[in-house]
Structure 1
Amino acid sequence: MRVLKFGGTSVADAQRVINVSEIAINTSIQVQTALVLSAPAGVTNILVSMLKSALAGSDCKNEFNALDQIIRPLITNLSAQYPKFEGEKVLAFYEDIVSELQRRVSGITLLGSCPDPVAAYIECRGEALSIAIMSELLRAREQQVQVIDPVEILVCDGKFLESSVDIEASIERFKRLTIDPKAIVLMSGFCGGNRQGQLVLLGRNGSDYSAACLAAVSKAQCCEIWTDVDGVYSCDPRAVPDAVLLRRMSYKEAMELSYFGAKVLHPRTITPIAQYRIPCLIKNTLNPQGEGTLISEETDRNLITKGISDLKNVSMINVSGPGMKGMVGMAGRLFSCISRANVSIVLITQSSSEYSITFCVHSEDAFAARSAIEEEFKLELNAHLLDPIEIQDKKAIISVVGEGMRTAKGVSSKFFRALAQANINVNAIAQGSSERSISAVIDGSKVSEAVFSCHTAFFSGRQIIDLIIVGVGGVGSALLKQIEKQRDELKKRNGIEIRVICVANSTSFVKDPVGLKIEQVETMLKGSQNGPFTIEEAKRLVDDSHLVNPVFVDCTSSDSIALSYLELMQAGYHVVTPNKKANTNSYEYYTGLRNIAQKCRRKFYYEATVGAGLPVINTLQNLLAAGDRLIEFNGIMSGTLSYIFGLLDEGKSLSQATKDAYERGYSEPNPRDDLEGMDVARKLLILARECGYKLDLSDIEVECPVDVKYLEGNNAQEVLENLKGADEEFAKKVELAKQEGKVLRYVATIKDGGKCSCGIKAVGPEDPLFKVVGGENALSFTSAYYQPIPLVIRGYGAGTEVTAAGVFSDILRLQNWTREA
C-alpha cells in the first residue's frame, strides 16, 4: 500500500479535487492506494472562527456563509463535470453537517462555554466533507472506494484537541480490518479516537501525522505528502527565490529542519515513518510529474548542508546568579518545574562557568515558564543566590541542518560569518551532539536577512549588492549608466546581482525594494512627490526591505551627508563615496569612521576621493600593510589643473586655458574652486592621514596659483573675466621656467615627518611629473621599498566617467568581502 496525503490547497476547488482523484487513480493501477485528506483550504479556519464567535454570543451567520461559499460551488462544479457524480447526495450530507453545527453552536452560545469534545467535533468537519466529496467523485469515475474511520483505527492518548497516536495499539486495530485490495481507501486526516472510542484531534499538522500513522500501521511501502510546493527546499522559497529543491534527505535531517520551523513537515509526522523505516515522498499536486523530495534513511551526500530553517515567536529565558555554581541538581530542578508547567523547551545552552543557563520557549509559554521558575526557586531568589529571571521576547532561532556537517570542517565559521556579514547579533548558540545542526538565537526582526545571508553562504553562487545612490549629477548619472551597461554581464559571468534600490537627488527620491529600472529613474525622479531623502529614510529602507548587503553610495559633495556615515554604518550600510568631506573632517571624526566600520563589520571605501578611477588608496594601504614607509610624496592631484597647466606649455594664457577647461566641462561649475587649491589640499590630507599622520586641513600649506583678488566673482563668467588680470604676471612665471628647461605644475607634497604643502613648482625633464598634462593625474611615492626610483601611479584623474568607474570598482570590492565572509 502507498499512503497519499493531500493538504487543504490540494482540495481547495473542483479542479484541484479532480487532480487529486487523477493522481489517486493512476497510483492505484500500480499499487493499492490510501488517501488521507485535509479540509478544503480555509474551512478549518472558518470552523475555528465559528467556535470563537459562538463563545462571544454570535449566531455565526458570517461563518456559515463563508463555509457555504467554499463547499457548495465545489460540489455543484463536480456535478456539472461528472454526470454520475451524485451531487444531491453530497449536498444532503453537507446540509446535515451544517444543521449539526448550528445545533452545537446554539448550545455553545447558550452555555457560554465549549467542552473540548464538542470543539474537536466541530474543527474536523472539513475533513469529513473532503472524504464525502472525494469518495463520490471516485465512484463517479468508476473506482471502488473503501472509507475507513480514523476513530476506529488510530488509538490516541492525550487531550481532546492535542493527542498522539499509539502506533503499536493502532497496528492491532488495523489488523482487524478487512481491506478490499481493489478499492482506493479513504481516511479523514486530523483526527483519531481515544481508548474510550471518542473523537480526538491530532493537533497542528494533524493530517500529515495521520498519514504517517496510517503508513506505519499498514506497513505501507511509501507515504506521500502532496502539497502546493515541489518538495522540501533549502529554505522558504517565498523568502529566497533561488532556494534549492532537495532531492533526498535523511529522516534525521528532516526532523531537525522541521523542528526548527521548516513548514513542509512537522516533527511528529516524521517519527512514525522513521520508526518503521517507511520512505516519505513530498510532491506537488500541481506538478505531479516533478521528482519531489524523498525522505528516507539515505541522504544526498553531495550537499553537506540541507537547509536553513527559522523558528519565530520565541522567548529566551536566562537563569543566572552567584549561587548556581556548584549547586547540585540545579538544572534538574529547573527543567522539572518547566515540565510540570507543561512548557516545551526549544533550545538549551549553558555557560561553561556554570553561572547561567539559557533556554528558549515559544513566546506564548514565556509567562508560564517564568511563574514556574519563580515558584520553584522562591528561596534562592529571596536570598539573592539567583538574579531576577530575565526574559527576552521577540526572538527567533535560525538553524543550519545537514548530515554532512558531522565530518565537514568550517560549517560553523561559515554560518556565523554569514550572520555577521548581515550585521546580525547572535544572542545564544546551541549545537546538538549529533552535529547535524547548529542554531543561533537572533532578534526576530532580522530573520529574513539571516535566512538570505546564510542561504547565500551555503547554497547560492549569487551575490546581491543593494545600492542606495544619493546624488545623480555628473558622477551619479554616469555610475547609473555604467551599472545598467554592465549588470547583465556581471550576473552572467560572476554571479553578482546589482540592484539599485533607491536613487535620490537634492529634492526627491524614488525606491523599489526589488530594484529600480535604471532607464526609468530620471523620469521617476521628475514625477516623484516623496520630498528630500533623509538619513531616517535610509534606516527605514534597511529595516523594511530586509536588505542584507546594502551599500550607501554618496555621489554628492554634501557636508551633512558625509557627517552621517557613522549613523549609516550603524544602521547596516557599507559606504562608498567620492565625497572628500568625511575624510577631511576633524581627525576625531576620521578615526571614528574607522572604529565604527570595524565595530559594525561594515566597509568604508573611498578610492575615488583622491585619484578618481586610479588605484591610489588601495595601493598605498597595501604597501603600508606590507611594512613599507613613506619617505616623500609628490603628485599632480587635480585633473583640471593638469589640463590647464598643460595648455600653458602650449602658449595659452592662464585665463584662456581656464576658459577652455570650463567650456569642456573639465572644471568645477565655478573654476575658482579648482584654482584655489583646496580640492588638492583635501586629497593630500586624505593621503597623509592614510600614512598615519595626525593632521587637519589647517595643517596643509596651500598656495593659490594666483592672487585671490583675480578669483573674485559671483559666477564662472565673472571669475573668468577677472582672471585675465593675472595673465601677464603668470606668463612671466611660465617663461622663467621655460628658460630653465622646466615647466610649471601644481604639485602636492608630503615630506618625511608629515609636512604637507601644495603649490606651483617648476619641474625638469628628469621629474616624473614633467610630462603630465591633458587632465592626467600622477602620484609619485618614494618609500622604503621604492627608492631611489619612486612608484608612480599615472592616468586620467578627472571627469565624471572616470570617477564613476572608481566608485563602481569600490562597489564591486564589497562583493568580494561578502564571499569571504
Structure 2
Amino acid sequence: MLVFKFGGASVKDAEGIVNLTNVVKLYADKQLLIVVSAMGKTTNALEKLARAYADQTDEVHDLYNDIKTYHFQIINALFEPKHPVYDEVANTFVEIDWMIEDEPQDDFDFIYDQLVSVGELVSTRIVAAYLNQAGLKTQWVDVRGYIHTDNTYREGIVQWDATRQSIQHNIPLLLDKGIVLTQGFLGGTSENFTTTLGREGSDYTASIFASCLGAESVTTWKDVPGILNADPKLFTDTVKFDELTYTEAIEMTYYGASIIHPKTIKPLQNTQIPLLVKPFTSPQAAGTVIKENAVMSFTRPVIIVKQNQVLLSLSAKDYSFISEDHLSDIFGRFAKNHVKLNVMQTSALSFTVCFDVDAARFDALLKSLVDYNVKYNTGLTLITTRHYTADSLKELTLNKTILLEQISRNTAQVVVR
C-alpha cells in the first residue's frame, strides 16, 4: 500500500482538488491512505483567529467569517447545492462557534490546537466528498482516534505504542474497502482533546501511518519539482536532488529546510520506507527519492534561510564563568518555555543562542531569565549552508553584518543583519 500526503498548496482551490483527484486516479489499482493538510493559507488564518480570540480583539468574527467564506466558495465550485458536504462542513465549523462564544479560560497553546485543527477537519471533509463524487470510494477517518499524543499542545509527542495499536487494528480493514483519507498535523489526547504536531506536521503524520502499516512508500506532493538545494523564492539558480540519504534529509530538516517536517524521516528510516517528494502538477515526474543508499552529488551547496530570528546572550550576574551547572539550568528554562535553539555558542562568560521568534513564548522566556544578564537582537536572519565552499559563504554574507558565525567540516551557520 502507498501513503500520499497533499499539502495546503495542492488543495488551495477547486482546481487543486480536481488535480488531486486526477493524481489519485493514476494509482487506482493500489491501496491508498491519503493525508491532507488545511487548504491554502488556512492555518495562517486560523492562527490569527486564535490570537484574536485569546486577546479578545474586535476582529474575531471578521476573521472567522473570511475563513468560512473561503471554504464555501470552494464547495460551491465543486458540488451541487443539496450535496451533504455543506452540512458536514457547517457542522465541523460549529466547533469554532462553540469556542468563541465564551471568553477564553485556557492556556493559549490549548486554544491554538482546538481552533487551528479545524482547518484539516474541514479540508478533508471536502476532499473526501469530491473523491467519492468522482467515483473513487473513499472513507473519511478522524486522525485524532489513531495518532495518540501527550498533552504538549502545539507540539504533541506521539505515544507510539497506543498509536501503532490503533492504526494496525482498524486501518487495514478500511484499506481493503477503498481509499482511506485523513488529516495531517493532528493528534488526540487520552482526554479527547486535540493536539497538533508542530507546523508543517502533515508530513510527519504520513510517516507515522506508513511506518505502522509497513507501506511500500510515502509520497508527499508539493508545488516544487522535488527537493532543491535552496528556496526558489529566494534563489534563482536552484538545482534539484534526484536522491538523498535519510541522514542528509534529517540534517537539512534539522537546520530548517521547510520542504519536510523535521520528524518525518526517522520513522521511515527505522522501517526502511522510501520518501518521494514529487510535483503535484506533474505526477509522472521523478521528483526526489529519500532512501538509505541514495547516490548524492552536491554540485552546489545546500542553503537554508530562516528569517525573524532572535540572537540572545546570557551571562551570570556575578560575572562567573558559564559552567555546566549554568548550562543545565539555562537549557531547562528554554525547554520549559518550548523555545527550540537553532544555534548555540559558549564563551568563558556568556552563552549565546539563536532561535525563531514566537512573541508569547519569548516574553515568557525573558521573564524566566531575570536572574541572568540578558542582551538580545531581533529581526535577524540565520543562513545555514551545507557542503559549502569559501566562495559560496562569502557570497551569501556579502553586504551583511555578521553577528555570529559557526563553521564545521560540512556545515556553516551565520547569523546576519
TM-score, normalised on structure 1? 0.46
| Residue number in structure 1 paired with 2:167 | 174
1:602-617 maps to which residues of 2 (within 5 A)? none
Aligned residue identity for 1:127? E
Structure 1 residue 370 displacement after superposition: 4.6
Structure 1 residue 126 displacement after superposition: 2.4
1:648-667 maps to which residues of 2 (within 5 A)? none
| Residue number in structure 2 paired with 1:36 | 35
- Structure 2 residue 361 is the aligned partner of structure 1 residue 361: no
> 396, 399, 412: which is aligned to 1:423?
399
Q: Secondary structure at the match of 2:402?
A: coil
Q: Secondary structure at the match of 1:246?
A: coil
| Residue number in structure 2 paired with 1:150 | 143
Q: Is the 8 A contact 2:43 2:119 kept in 1?
A: yes
Q: Secondary structure at the match of 1:264?
A: coil
| Residue number in structure 2 paired with 1:270 | 265
Q: Secondary structure at the match of 1:197?
A: coil
| Residue number in structure 1 paired with 2:70 | 70
Aligned residue identity for 2:221? W
Q: Is the 8 A contact 1:349 1:429 kept in 2?
A: no
Q: Name structure 1 gaps, 5 residues minimum.
A: 81-85, 378-387, 403-410, 444-821
1:558-569 maps to which residues of 2 (within 5 A)? none
| Residue number in structure 2 paired with 1:335 | 331
> 379, 382, 386: which is aligned to 1:397?
382
Partner Cα separation in structure 1 for residue 57 and residue 13 of structure 2: 31
Taking a change above 3 Å as real, the CA distance of residues 41 and 366 of structure 1, as seen in their structure-2 partners, is closer
Structure 1 residue 58 displacement after superposition: 4.5
| Residue number in structure 2 paired with 1:8 | 8
Structure 1 residue 418 displacement after superposition: 3.0
Q: Give me the CA root mean square deviation.
A: 2.9
Partner Cα separation in structure 2 for residue 263 and residue 424 of structure 1: 23
Deviations 1:342-383 (A, max 9, x none): 4322212234xx3543222334455554544442x5xxxxxx
Aligned residue identity for 1:391? Y
| Residue number in structure 1 paired with 2:209 | 214
Deviations 1:490-543 (A, max 9, x none): xxxxxxxxxxxxxxxxxxxxxxxxxxxxxxxxxxxxxxxxxxxxxxxxxxxxxx
Structure 1 residue 298 displacement after superposition: 3.2
Taking a change above 3 Å as real, the CA distance of residues 73 and 325 of structure 1, as seen in their structure-2 partners, is closer
Taking a change above 3 Å as real, the CA distance of residues 183 and 12 of structure 1, as seen in their structure-2 partners, is same
| Residue number in structure 2 paired with 1:19 | 19
Q: Is the 8 A contact 1:349 1:357 kept in 2?
A: yes
> Which has more radius of gyration?
1
Deviations 1:760-817 (A, max 9, x none): xxxxxxxxxxxxxxxxxxxxxxxxxxxxxxxxxxxxxxxxxxxxxxxxxxxxxxxxxx
Q: Secondary structure at the match of 2:310?
A: strand
Deviations 1:540-594 (A, max 9, x none): xxxxxxxxxxxxxxxxxxxxxxxxxxxxxxxxxxxxxxxxxxxxxxxxxxxxxxx
- Structure 2 residue 120 is the aligned partner of structure 1 residue 127: yes
1:82-93 maps to which residues of 2 (within 5 A)? 88-93=83-88
Partner Cα separation in structure 1 for residue 101 and residue 325 of structure 2: 52
Partner Cα separation in structure 1 for residue 120 and residue 25 of structure 2: 20
Deviations 1:295-329 (A, max 9, x none): 22234432165510012222223345895559564
1:515-534 maps to which residues of 2 (within 5 A)? none
Taking a change above 3 Å as real, the CA distance of residues 301 and 282 of structure 1, as seen in their structure-2 partners, is closer
Q: Is the 8 A contact 1:230 1:245 kept in 2?
A: yes
Taking a change above 3 Å as real, the CA distance of residues 96 and 370 of structure 1, as seen in their structure-2 partners, is closer
Q: Secondary structure at the match of 1:94?
A: helix
| Residue number in structure 2 paired with 1:413 | 390
Taking a change above 3 Å as real, the CA distance of residues 371 and 60 of structure 1, as seen in their structure-2 partners, is closer
The one of the two structures with greater contact order (alpha-carbon pairs below 8 A, sep at least 6) is 2
Structure 1 residue 3 displacement after superposition: 1.0
Partner Cα separation in structure 1 for residue 296 and residue 187 of structure 2: 38
Structure 1 residue 237 displacement after superposition: 0.7
Q: Is the 8 A contact 2:38 2:119 kept in 1?
A: yes
Partner Cα separation in structure 2 for residue 87 and residue 297 of structure 1: 50
Q: Name structure 2 gaps, 5 residues minimum.
A: none
Taking a change above 3 Å as real, the CA distance of residues 193 and 367 of structure 1, as seen in their structure-2 partners, is closer
Taking a change above 3 Å as real, the CA distance of residues 24 and 361 of structure 1, as seen in their structure-2 partners, is same
Q: Secondary structure at the match of 1:176?
A: helix
| Residue number in structure 2 paired with 1:346 | 342
| Residue number in structure 2 paired with 1:190 | 185
> 123, 132, 143: which is aligned to 1:139?
132
Structure 1 residue 42 displacement after superposition: 3.2
Structure 1 residue 26 displacement after superposition: 1.4
Partner Cα separation in structure 2 for residue 134 and residue 212 of structure 1: 20
- Structure 2 residue 278 is the aligned partner of structure 1 residue 283: yes
Partner Cα separation in structure 2 for residue 439 and residue 193 of structure 1: 36
Taking a change above 3 Å as real, the CA distance of residues 134 and 330 of structure 1, as seen in their structure-2 partners, is closer
Partner Cα separation in structure 1 for residue 355 and residue 403 of structure 2: 14
Structure 1 residue 147 displacement after superposition: 2.5
Aligned residue identity for 2:395? A
| Residue number in structure 2 paired with 1:439 | 413
Partner Cα separation in structure 1 for residue 324 and residue 139 of structure 2: 59
Partner Cα separation in structure 2 for residue 193 and residue 103 of structure 1: 19
Partner Cα separation in structure 2 for residue 368 and residue 51 of structure 1: 18
Q: Is the 8 A contact 1:54 1:106 kept in 2?
A: no
Q: Secondary structure at the match of 1:28?
A: coil
- Structure 2 residue 289 is the aligned partner of structure 1 residue 294: yes
Partner Cα separation in structure 2 for residue 42 and residue 328 of structure 1: 43
Q: Is the 8 A contact 2:50 2:111 kept in 1?
A: no
Taking a change above 3 Å as real, the CA distance of residues 366 and 57 of structure 1, as seen in their structure-2 partners, is closer
Structure 1 residue 241 displacement after superposition: 1.6
Q: Is the 8 A contact 2:125 2:140 kept in 1?
A: no
Aligned residue identity for 2:406? A
Q: Secondary structure at the match of 2:380?
A: strand
Q: Secondary structure at the match of 1:393?
A: strand
Q: Secondary structure at the match of 2:113?
A: helix
Q: Is the 8 A contact 2:147 2:158 kept in 1?
A: yes
Structure 1 residue 235 displacement after superposition: 0.9
Q: Is the 8 A contact 2:31 2:179 kept in 1?
A: yes
Partner Cα separation in structure 1 for residue 365 and residue 115 of structure 2: 31
Taking a change above 3 Å as real, the CA distance of residues 113 and 337 of structure 1, as seen in their structure-2 partners, is closer
Partner Cα separation in structure 1 for residue 211 and residue 410 of structure 2: 25
Taking a change above 3 Å as real, the CA distance of residues 172 and 373 of structure 1, as seen in their structure-2 partners, is same
Q: Is the 8 A contact 1:427 1:442 kept in 2?
A: yes
> 217, 237, 249: which is aligned to 2:244?
249
Aligned pair count?
410
Structure 1 residue 400 displacement after superposition: 1.1
Partner Cα separation in structure 2 for residue 249 and residue 306 of structure 1: 14
Deviations 1:365-415 (A, max 9, x none): 55554544442x5xxxxxxxxxx433233322211124xxxxxxxx45344
> 254, 258, 277: which is aligned to 1:259?
254
